[in-house]
Structure 1
Amino acid sequence: MPIQEIKSGEEVAAFIKEPSPAVLHFYASWAPSCEQVNQLLDDLLAEIALPLRAAFIDAEALPGISLNFKITAAPTLVFFSNGKEVDRIDGFVPKEIQSKVVLVASRSLSQSSSDASSTTSSTPSLTPQQEKEALNARLGALVNSQKVMVFMKGDPSAPRCGFSRTIVELLNSHKIKFGSFDIFSDEAVRQGLKEYSNWPTYPQLYFDGELIGGLDVVKEEFSDPQFIKQLPKVGENSEGGSLEDRLKKLVSSQRLMLFMKGDRETPKCGFSRTIVDLLNKARADYHTFDILEDEEVRNSPIGQLIHSSISTESSSEGLMSSRKSSWIRISFVRFQELEMIN
């Protein structure tokens, strides 16, 4: 079923109230990344045989609902199960969205199977072949949910066996960016993955959806620098460079650079519009970067690298940025100094 639009508070309440797993996308029509989220959800619902309902809501058309759910940016995805929020994602992060969709739906499916086994149901049961196909679809989605994925006992912050602890330490020591799945949280996955991968023990490490092996094999692979070089690193962007280097390059690309929502012709929030108006009145020669077009930059700790929302060769002490719920919150101290920049 394709993603549906919800247009009223009553529809939101009814959508959330149903016990089956669901994801509600808080959407903004002016943000291209929101369209990308809807397309991704449509694709996932079509490809993955999991019970998940999906809908989107115009966050600005229904501000009261957005306020109730503490929405501060679009896109934001809120996941529900049994009528309660169980997770959320801010921004367009395809791998994370795919992973959360699979995990939320899978856990609900496991719970449903457990409940069904203890009660009498008139619903026809799946054949063994159908059950195997459904499980394999889940496993395929899970192993591909992150570029590097480890199936382990426990989670990275609290491994529950020595082998799992060691593989996490190995990945962390090389600053590998990875996802994880606790096999104790889902018995179907725990048993099914052994057959799916033809590997009888845990932990199991996957790279680009392909099994690397258990701890001994992983240790051997990590002795090869070329293998390690292929793996994604924490803080590295999709083009393989350091995110910090990319941010510094952006900051220094122009003498006066404004990081904002939208651009100077079409600001997309009140704070951005205000600072653009002030810059224009000061007749400043400046360039802009639309953070809505780049989730990696938007979600980065750019406030630590850019000591104000404006970066210049001169001092920018008149504009200090505070990154809280909004990208641009500015204290105008001595804005007149901008007139001196040119």
Structure 2
Amino acid sequence: MATHDRPFHQGPFDDLPAHPNRPHAFLDLPAKELSMRSTRYGRQRIRYRDTGTGPPLLLVHGLMTTSYSWRYVMARLGEHFRVVAVDLPGCGNSEAPPDATFRGAEIGEWLAEFQRALGIEGCAAVGNSMGGLPLLHRVLEDPTAFEKVAILHSPLLPEFKHRALAVVLALPGVRSGLAAYVRRQPYRWAHHRTHYFDETVKSLEEAGEYGSPLATSAGSRAFVSHLRDGLHPRDLTALARRLAALDEFPVPLLAVYGTEPDPIVPPQVAVTFARHLPTARMVRIDRASHFVHVDRPDTVADTIIEFLCAEQGSADNPCHRPLQRDGSPDNRT
């Protein structure tokens, strides 16, 4: 990957190319729809993509993004697993339930219903950023929910910005006002709030994938609800306390963090996470930040594969297919 000479330097939206300079085949995968009934959200139309063969692996995106977030790792993961990348409720092309809340534990319950609908209960799962929190919540409630879990640059303890955000979003009219503001220029909003080590990978294609859901009233309101609920300081604090009280997380856990500055989740969170869950495997990856799977996709995919295949001894297991490396992760605890 040719890295921009100014890391994290975000160029103007008007200069974005139509297509990314790093090719991918994500949009060539058939988009699949599932009509499922959720206890909390009712009947919904859910969009997802899957590829590959082998044991199922569920990918969960973070705030404001969609399953498109996984575009650079799905093919490599698909060499070993059946990879399912879902658009969460109200995100991407999945239906937005009206006036819903999206707390981490609630999304965890919804993921269990999605797993049952696809017949992939107990599969391994990977979550990026806020998408990692429902996985942790779910395992704490049901240790059989996921065989193994990997989180990529997820938050943990609340910071000042989370507390300030909660206060502001609780004020009358702020949520509806923010949703309306986002709808005015959704593509530019998505562009300016997605940060990569190499910003030259951005394109109008990506802005469209992330911005189109925000252009609708239902989608922009769902985004604000995810923002309000998924990062609420009360829930972050409660989750961190539950994790710190454990002798060991119920299932094997991998935590991957970039080493570079991140305006969303600072890399120092890795130290906090390791303190709360010292038995988790911690991997730090250089030249990477919040979206480690976009910044260093091959390294991240290989790290995930090696973690998921650990202690899988069968000679015919798909985990034994050889890996091709583009570099080694920087391992630190």
TM-score interval (norm. to shorter) = under 0.3
Bigger-Rg structure (1/2): 1
Higher relative contact order (CA 8 A, sep 6+): 2
Q: Which has the higher strand share?
A: 1
